[in-house]
Amino acid sequence: MISIKEVKTKSDLKTFVKFPFKLYKDSKYWVPPIISEELKTFNTKENPVFNDAEARLFLAYKYNVVVGRVAAIINSLEVEKQGVKKMRFGWCDFIDDFEVSQALFNQVETIGKENGLEYAEGPVGFSNLDKVGVMTEGFEHIATMVTWYNHSYYIKHYEQAGYIVEKSYIESEFPFANVKPEFFLKAQELIKKRYQVEALSFTKTADVMPYADKMFDLFNESYASLSSFVAITDIQKEYFKKKFISFINPEYIKFVVDKNDKLIGFAIVMPAFAKALQKMKGKLFPFGFRHILHAKKHCKDVIFYLIGIHPEYQNKGVHAVIFNEYYNTFKEKGIKNCIRTPELEDNHAIHQIWKHFDPVIYARRKTLRKNL
């Protein structure tokens, strides 16, 4: 007998956040989140996303033991302003029991119907800066800190519940040795002269901050055409600046500006914190923070988290300016491998940017939908 309980108390929320630690305790590839940060994600007083969205969290019990969880999310910016009648759901985990997964899906679908929504899609978060997709390939690779890892049986549960593929994503990687400067060195020099642009690199986080709002504005502009995009609000900008910018090595943030100091391109790279997070086991204190700091300074694998070019400068080679900056930084730091976060399989423009580096696809993931 499966029972579904809505998360109402702090104790319930901790149970919700910690459930995957039990489900993946024997996995070499699952990367645990930082528990305190995950709790803040669902704190309506701390996370400004709740100004424009609501989330109801649920736990599935079998014989009084937690066997699954799901977050049912309605983003009002998407539903009311964009007219996309979508019931989002994420943080969806369950044991290999169809009765459990069906009960969780039913809960999401019921909420969607009650709110007059047309379809459910998941797993997704609140916005495009959240994790996305259920893995369908690549289970033998360690996950990244910005992706969900899941058991291989998950996709069967979605399919049995009547969900069909909505979007497909790929994850790829390439050794830094594949990066040949001749592919972008001359091009970036020409681009700088032709369009009168220049690159900005940083050594101090404080120097990044004056450009942070402009970066999020450019993110909104450059990603607006992608499916499922929900713009970042001004209040969220402040939240993300505190949450992310100070966490990232300043030398891994690259900007391109025009002659008027207008931001026209940006990229954010992070050290691959996955192994550090595994050692931390979800806890920053007393010693977990040391693993983060060590990885931040010494990790030889990096993750390309975001790259955005202003629509007026897309397809004009501005990315060559960014790559040239990263090449110099990575060479100095002795970087070995470059990893890309999930990218839409049909986003051919972004795939073209990376083609000269011969990336290898190592994982695939999908979001799935069901009409309500």
Continuous H helices in 161-204: 185-195
> Do residues 357 and 179 touch, judged by C-beta distance below 8 A?
yes
For the chain, list the domains and their CATH numbers: 2-168 (3.40.630.30), 175-364 (3.40.630.30)
> How does DSSP assign 335-349, residue by residue?
--EEEE--EETT-HH
Question: Taking the model in full, what pTM does it have?
Answer: 0.92
Tokens of 12: 């319930």
Q: Encode the chain (372 residues) as per-residue pLDDT tens digits.
A: 899 999 999 999 999 999 999 999 999 999 999 999 999 999 999 898 999 999 999 999 999 999 999 999 999 989 998 899 999 999 999 999 999 999 999 999 999 999 999 999 999 999 877 899 999 999 999 999 999 999 999 999 999 999 999 999 999 999 999 998 888 888 899 999 999 999 999 999 888 888 888 888 888 888 877 766 777 888 888 888 777 787 789 999 999 999 999 999 999 999 999 999 999 999 988 887 899 989 999 999 999 998 889 989 988 889 999 999 999 999 999 999 999 999 999 887 788 888 889 999 999 999 999 999
Token pair 């402009």 in the structure block, residue: 214
Give dist(CA 71, CA 93) in Å, integer. 10
Question: pLDDT value at position 228?
Answer: 67
8, with CB counted inside 10 A (0-12, 13-18, 19+), is: exposed
Give dist(CA 4, CA 185) in Å, integer. 58
Strands 198-200 and 164-175: unpaired
Residue type, 107: Q
Strands 86-94 and 119-122: parallel
Sign of CA dihedral 255, 244, 149, 303: positive
Phi and psi of 326, rounded to 5°?
A: -65, -35
Cis peptide before 286 (omega within 30 of 0): yes
> Do residues 141 and 29 touch, judged by C-beta distance below 8 A?
yes
